[in-house]
């Protein structure tokens, strides 16, 4: 679509800013749709506003537009109007280290500012794990045993006696989530698919 617009209007690689889908119930494929939107950032001269903390349970076009407009405006100001000191992008997963013998993940994030924090409460919400029992007889959905925020890094320890296959954050149509960067922008949803044992 972006390519077609740029060809049709003949204005070169003009900026395209877009909004990742917010929360809503009864939209079973919206997590994957959000991931497809984030993949579009590989297109040159684009930017995305994360709205995983916004939305209405049943209204696909929620009335609260000011927050979304402000996030898009900040992206434009930072990327195209040289407001270099403005942190305009949401925290995004940039790296991870998996240490199975320690049952631990270390997740690194870009756009954390002076550090990740909670938008509300004192406990991280939004993470889940898919796994199999060690004997391979059950598929499991688990909550991490321990989650620690350390600057732009999150350390996750998961339960014993399971084989982890997937780590997710805010991966639901209407997910719980409460991690933001130092300016309050919500962390983008993500899913890590782990390589298994042959």
Bridge partners, residue 154, by sequence: 107, 149
The reply to whether 71 and 102 lie within a common domain is no
Q: Is 51 part of a structural domain of the chain?
A: yes
Q: Tell me what percent of the residues of the chain surpass a pLDDT of 70.
A: 98
Q: Please check whether residues 122 and 38 belong to one and the same domain.
A: no
| Residue 198: band (very low, low, confident or very high) from pLDDT cuts 50, 70, 90 | low
**Residues contacting 122, CB < 8 A, separation 6+:** none
Q: How many domains does the chain have?
A: 2
- Write down which residue in 80, 110, 130 finishes a domain: 80
**Distance between CA atoms of 55 and 85, rounded to whole angstroms?**
28
Which of 80, 106, 134 is at the close of a domain? 80
Domain's final residue, options 14, 45, 80: 80
Backbone angles phi, psi at 84, to 5 degrees: -70, -25
pLDDT at residue 21 above 80?
yes
The structure's pTM equals: 0.93
* pLDDT, tens digit (0-9, with 9 covering 90-100), for 119-134: 998 899 999 999 999 8
Q: Mark whether 98 and 179 lie in a shared domain.
A: yes
Nearest-10 Cα torsion for 181, 65, 51, 28:
160
Domain residues for 38? 2-80
Whether residue 9 sits in one domain with residue 54: yes
């Amino acid at each position: 679509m972006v390519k077609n617009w740029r060809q049709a209007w003949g204005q070169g690689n003009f900026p395209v800013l877009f909004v990742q889908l917010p929360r809503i119930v009864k939209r079973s494929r919206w997590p994957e749709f959000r991931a497809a939107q984030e993949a579009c950032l590989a297109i040159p001269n684009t930017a995305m506003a994360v709205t995983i903390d916004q939305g209405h349970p049943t209204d696909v076009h929620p009335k609260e537009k000011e927050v979304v407009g402000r996030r898009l405006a900040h992206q434009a100001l930072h990327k195209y109007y040289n407001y270099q000191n403005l942190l305009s992008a949401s925290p995004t997963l940039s790296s991870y280290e998996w240490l199975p013998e320690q049952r631990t993940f270390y997740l690194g994030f870009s756009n954390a500012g002076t550090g990740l924090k909670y938008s509300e409460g004192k406990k991280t919400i939004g993470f889940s794990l898919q796994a199999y029992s060690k004997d391979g007889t059950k598929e499991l959905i688990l909550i991490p045993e321990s989650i620690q925020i350390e600057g732009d890094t999150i350390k996750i320890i998961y339960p014993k006696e399971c084989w982890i296959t997937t780590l997710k954050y805010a991966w639901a149509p209407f997910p719980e989530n409460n991690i933001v960067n130092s300016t309050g922008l919500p962390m983008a949803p993500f899913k890590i698919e782990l390589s298994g044992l042959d």
